Amino acid sequence: MRSLVGRWLLITCLALLPALALQTWTGLSEHQARQQAVQDEALRLVHLVSSEQQQVAEGARQLMTALVNLSALRANWKNDCAPFFPNLLHQFPRYAAVAATDLDGRVVCSSRLADIGNETGDRAYFRRAMAQDDMVAGDYVVGRDSGRPSVHFAQRYRNPDGQVEGVISIALDLGWLQKRLDALPLPQGAAAFITDTSGTALARRPDPGRHIGQRVAAGMREILEGSELKVREATGLDGVKRVYGFGPFDVEPKGFGIAVGLDSAATFSAIAAESRRALALLALSAVLALAVTVAAAGPIVRRPMARLLSAAARWREGDFSARIGLGNDRSEFGRLGAAFDAMAEATQERERAVLETQAALRGSQAELSSILGTAAEGIVVARADGRIVSANRAALRMFGYDRAEELVGRALGVLMPAAEAARHGASIAAHRAGAPPRVIGVPGRELMAVRRDGSEFPIDLSVSSFGGDGRRCLTGIIRDATARKQAEAALRDSEARLRLVQQVGGVAFTDRRLAENTALVSPEFVRLYGLPPGQTHISAAAYSALVHPEDRDRMITEAGDVYEKGGGFASEFRIRRPDGTVRWVAMRAEVFPGPDGRPERAISAQQDITEIVAAREGLAARKEELERRVAERTAALAEAETRFRAIFDSQFTFIGLLSPDGILLEANRTALEAAGLQREDTVGKPFWETGWWPAAERDQLRREVAEAAGGAVIRREVEITGAGGRGIWIDFSLKPVRDPATGEVVWVIPEGRDITEQRTLSGQLAQAQKVQALGQLASGIAHDFNNVLQAVSGAALLIERRPGDEEKTRRLARTAINAATRGASITQRLLSFARRGELRTEAIATAELLDGVREVLAHTLGTLITVRTEAADGVPPVLADRGQLETALVNLGTNARDAMPNGGTLTFRAEAVRIAAGEASSADLAPSDYVRIDVSDTGSGMDAATLAKVTEPFFTTKPPGQGTGLGLPMVKEFADRCGGKLAIASAPGAGTTVSLWLRQAGAEAVPGRDDENGDARAGVPPARILLVDDDDLVRETLAAQLEDTGFAVLAAASGAEALALLQAGEAVSALVSDLSMPGMSGVETIQKARRLRPGLPCFLLTGYVGERAALAAEDAFTLVRKPVAGRALATRIEASLEVIGG
């Protein structure tokens, strides 16, 4: 480029390049910093939402753990959970429902009664819970009955035997979850949502409620299915593009996806606008600089050229006095001639020098103005009085001003906080006096500046002064230190993390400049080498002395080579601490060059590896021993295998080996020969498909093998197929074998013992025991019933002889009635013990009951026995069958009398007892409120052997004919059926205490008795009853009793006779029939009678409940137990007639 003007333009462009590069770098740095800040903020918000969701999941986990542990402790869990679950919803309103299911997913207990029986086997949370023991989270579901959306936490639970019973689920109310999300302090304009593992939205903001139950976009689901937190720009459910932070499903809380987004447009619009303004200003500055360059080239280039042309023209005209001043210089300005005379040349030279100086000054001023305008640092010039003269664009942008006129003339204090302005007055005064340029700062803290909007920010400030007296000015170069301070903070954090890693990992380090004789050491180095605490440096000689003498020369050689040539090396060596302890150390050292390229600084990291070296040496020493033992063990295993096979095949029991999937791996010879099978016929096949098992057993066996593979022990008696098709009964078991290292089931051992002969003998023995027990029972019952018959027949004979003695007749009749009641009690005891009697529970006043029993026993036990009761008036009532409870207490009193042949004291005590959840009791009771009734005697007591058998049926210590052995078993059975327990404490010579635990009656139950003495038909016109019974005595007696209560009675001796009366048109209001009659039973009689008289009330009398299951299926009659009092029967008939009438 030969043109001088072109060269000037090139220089100007080159001068603008640094400013352009600096502006571009600044814009990119600001954009990246802002983008990183947005991503960090998105991740912080994800952590905030995740922490909140983790608290929700942890609360559910704690509640679930309590429920699962409770199910493992309670045998009646499925019954006890019904009132417990609804209470949970009052305590934890965040949950919509709590339910327990069986293994098939059928709801067996729920906080909502309407859900019981529903099927949940198709729910994702049920399937996940059944696959593992930990709590799992389900997917979005809408309740089948409630219609409420929720997400379930679920975990399978076990019974007290450790068997999996089903799944407990807790439904989290999504409305509650939405409120929690709305309450989180997210920035304005931010969006957030929570999903299940399928990507279905559970809660979101803004616009809560919209898009709930819908899946997020496929791109978002792919991110949520990852394994770490991520930040991506994505479009949300509302169609707005945001910068989202994602918390995947596998990050805590597991099972939920979490995303929080910040608005992309709002975040980056300000940065883009600022960048565009900066580029526009830079382009404008470049254009102005080029224009100034072109303008400055005119006086410097074109004017001399004009003079040269003018002189040449004058020379052509012959005017030789003209001078051009170029001389022999070949450049545009230096090649001026020296042809002018001395005076003209001197004058012309002075004028040319002035013009050149002015032109250069203008160019310099333009260049300086251009550089200041495009500088990245802010530059502010002020007069000596502190008033601002000028500010470049960077300063205006830094302090938030649009034009320089907004600052010019104002005091410098407008750019500083008030406290800082007063503090910097002295520094400004010093610079006015001509102090050298220096950086101004505040020791111990940042120098702060104030923007136009009042916000403060840190700065780096350099101040200098220029000018003479009266015209001195101050120049301040200002740089925004925000980015630098952030970098320094990040560096401090990084250094802190490095120190923590060194402390935790025990890594020691040294730092030495090779020109110096000492090295800086870390606290870990001091601990590793056993140096005094607090030592920070060590000399080369002291360090060399700590190296073990046998390793010292090698270490000096290795280190010397690296210190001389540079690079790094790693080594292992021994050290000897000052206390004499020898340790192995692993070291990695790196040498760094200085500015001249020669090694200048060495840094090493060291770690104690004594244990590793010892283990390595021990491993090498054991390797040879191990190889020798392997050879010996291989031979021993071969021999052991031979012995095992001999023992395995010679066993009398059937033994096999299964894989967890049920494939038969081995079977001993005993099992194969018993069924006439060969090894190749069975091994490698599913166990249930082998020849031992009949088709009827195979499905059950398949299930049992699966249970054993899951860790259960199976045992039962089963009939298998033997050789020739004969049946073989075996005591069969499946036992899991676990891997000791992992605890997983690796094999299942099936075992069977032939019990065919034993089973035959056991059946014969059981039959013999039944015959013996029947003889004992018949003897005792015959004795009791003979006493009843004696009392009834004696009283009847005396009434027959003395019909006129009304008082004595009434007393004798009462005796007969009591004897008949006693006979009914005997049958009731038998039926109750056999679990075939009915419980008619009612609320019974405890103190009143014990007083009544005391009065009865006081007259029947004899004068040698003192009967006492100890029951406070506040003892709550019990819930039981009055008749059976009275019978149980009388039985206990009778047993106590037999234990005190020489007399003694019988005491009945009652007190209220509460068994709390988790509290152990001697009777192994479920948590509830009980009344404990103690029956204590001062008799001979029982030894441990007798006490262990006393509740067994037919066991008695009384002589033959004096007891049936059903008393205490009946009491125990009665207590169990009432939801209570029986406990017995006794010792020889110390008496016996029998404790009867019964549940307290609820507050709504009112103790009372049935009144059977009233007249059921008082004041009512008589109804006609058709009475059917084949026993003349019973028929006549019951007819008289019904007539005594006000009914008219039409009697029939058989079912056929009763039907004939109905067909003849006899008017009857109700039918009462015995069950067992010859020819036609009572059930058949009632069925045919109802066909003749639809809607006729019918009552079936029976003294036996063996047919209860068949009778309960009928709805054509009312079942009445014999013996029944006439007034009681009349009351039931009257109640039935009132219902029909009204």
Q: Are residues 739 and 853 in the same domain?
A: no
Q: Has residue 268 been placed in a domain? A: no
Burial class (CB in 10 A: 0-12, 13-18, 19+), 43: middle
Q: Are residues 538 and 570 in the same domain?
A: yes
Spatial separation of the C-alpha atoms in residues 1063 and 983, rounded to whole Å: 59
Q: Has residue 833 been placed in a domain? A: no
Q: What is the mean pLDDT of residues 864-876?
A: 86
Least confident of 102-106, 282-286, 721-725, 1111-1115: 1111-1115
Q: Are residues 520 and 482 in the same domain?
A: no
Structure tokens at 600: 């200048």
For residue 959, name the pLDDT band (cuts at 50, 70, 90): low
Q: Are residues 62 and 162 in the same domain?
A: yes
pLDDT at 955 over 80: no
Please say whether the beta carbons of 465 and 431 come within 8 A: yes
How many residues are given for the chain?
Answer: 1142
Tell me which range, 370-379, 1068-1077, 1116-1125, is most confidently predicted by mean pLDDT.
Answer: 1068-1077
For residue 342, name the pLDDT band (cuts at 50, 70, 90): very low
Q: Are residues 484 and 512 in the same domain?
A: no
Chain centre to alpha carbon of residue 1033:
73
Q: Are residues 511 and 568 in the same domain?
A: yes
Please say whether the beta carbons of 1013 and 1127 come within 8 A: yes
Q: Are residues 474 and 580 in the same domain?
A: no
pLDDT at 1114 over 70: no
Question: 377 Cβ partners below 8 Å, 6+ apart?
Answer: 394, 477, 478, 479
Query: Per DSSP, which regions of 467-517 are E strands?
Result: 473-480, 508-513
pLDDT at 423 over 70: no
Phi, psi of 160 (to 5 degrees): -60, -20
Residue 7's pLDDT is what?
A: 65
Least confident of 231-235, 403-407, 711-715: 231-235
Q: What is the DSSP letter of 413?
A: G
Spatial separation of the C-alpha atoms in residues 267 and 761, rounded to whole Å: 91
Least confident of 136-150, 313-327, 482-496, 736-750: 313-327
pLDDT at 427 over 90: no
For residue 1055, name the pLDDT band (cuts at 50, 70, 90): very high
Spatial separation of the C-alpha atoms in residues 607 and 840, rounded to whole Å: 82
The number of helices, as runs of H, and strands, as runs of E, in the chain is 30, 39
Q: Which residue has the higher pLDDT, 908 or 35?
A: 908
Taking residue 325's Cβ as centre, other Cβ atoms within 10 Å add up to: 22
Residue 58's pLDDT is what?
A: 83
Q: What is the mean pLDDT of residues 891-916?
A: 87
Least confident of 77-91, 327-341, 383-397, 538-552: 327-341
Instruction: Give me the half-sphere count of Cα atoms (radius 13 Å) on the Cβ side of residue 81.
Output: 28
Q: Has residue 213 been placed in a domain? A: no
Q: What is the mean pLDDT of residues 1120-1125?
A: 78
Query: Which residue in 116, 89, 90, 93 sits closest to 105, CA to CA?
Result: 116
Spatial separation of the C-alpha atoms in residues 1026 and 1093, rounded to whole Å: 12
Spatial separation of the C-alpha atoms in residues 252 and 525, rounded to whole Å: 38
Residue 836's pLDDT is what?
A: 43
Query: Domain boundary at 733, 754, 775, which?
Result: 754
Least confident of 56-70, 187-201, 362-376, 658-672: 362-376
Q: What is the mean pLDDT of residues 427-452?
A: 65
Query: Can you give the CATH number for the domain in which 1040 is found?
Result: 3.40.50.2300
pLDDT at 1036 over 50: yes
Structure tokens at 49: 């939402």
Question: 523 Cβ partners below 8 Å, 6+ apart?
Answer: 503
Q: Are residues 788 and 883 in the same domain?
A: no
Q: What is the mean pLDDT of residues 952-959?
A: 70
pLDDT at 808 over 60: yes
Q: Are residues 147 and 68 in the same domain?
A: yes
Q: Has residue 236 been placed in a domain? A: no
Residue 898's pLDDT is what?
A: 84
Query: Domain boundary at 574, 608, 642, which?
Result: 608
Q: What is the pLDDT of residues 762-794, one digit of tens each?
A: 656 545 544 554 554 555 566 566 666 766 776
| Domain count for the chain | 7
Spatial separation of the C-alpha atoms in residues 1029 and 1054, rounded to whole Å: 6
Q: Are residues 791 and 911 in the same domain?
A: no
Residue 294's pLDDT is what?
A: 66
Q: What is the pLDDT of residues 212-263, one digit of tens each?
A: 888 888 878 888 777 788 888 888 777 788 888 888 877 777 778 888 888 7
Query: Which residue in 930, 898, 904 sits closest to 916, CA to CA?
Result: 930
602's enclosing H/E stretch is: strand 599-608
Q: What is the pLDDT of residues 122-134, one digit of tens each?
A: 888 888 889 888 8
Q: What is the pLDDT of residues 467-500, one digit of tens each?
A: 766 677 888 888 888 887 877 777 777 666 666 6
Q: Has residue 241 been placed in a domain? A: no
* DSSP bridge partners of 245: 231, 260
Query: Domain boundary at 177, 194, 217, which?
Result: 177
Token pair 């008589």 is at which residue? 1022
Q: Has residue 22 been placed in a domain? A: no
Query: Can you give the CATH number for the domain in which 444 is found?
Result: 3.30.450.20
Q: Are residues 595 and 661 in the same domain?
A: no
Q: Has residue 275 been placed in a domain? A: no
Query: Which residue in 300, 299, 326 sits closest to 311, CA to CA?
Result: 326
Q: What is the pLDDT of residues 543-574, one digit of tens each?
A: 999 999 999 999 889 888 888 888 888 999 99
H-type helices in 605-749, by residue range? Answer: 610-650, 669-675, 679-682, 695-709
Q: Which residue has the higher pLDDT, 410 or 386?
A: 410
Residue 872's pLDDT is what?
A: 77
Q: Are residues 989 and 871 in the same domain?
A: yes
Question: 871 Cβ partners below 8 Å, 6+ apart?
Answer: 846, 847, 850, 908, 909, 910, 911
Residue 436's pLDDT is what?
A: 61
Q: What single-letter amino acid sits at 296?
A: A
Proportion of the chain above pLDDT 90, given as a percent:
16
Chain centre to alpha carbon of residue 461:
57
Domain that holds residue 95: 55-177
> Is-above-0.85 flag for pTM?
no
pLDDT, the chain, mean: 78
Q: Has residue 466 been placed in a domain? A: yes
For residue 329, name the pLDDT band (cuts at 50, 70, 90): very low
Q: What is the mean pLDDT of residues 1127-1131?
A: 85
Q: Tell me the three state secondary structure of residue 286.
A: helix
Helix axes 967-977, 806-833, angle to 10 degrees: 70
pLDDT at 961 over 60: no
Q: What is the pLDDT of residues 291-323, one digit of tens each?
A: 776 665 555 555 565 565 566 566 456 454 566
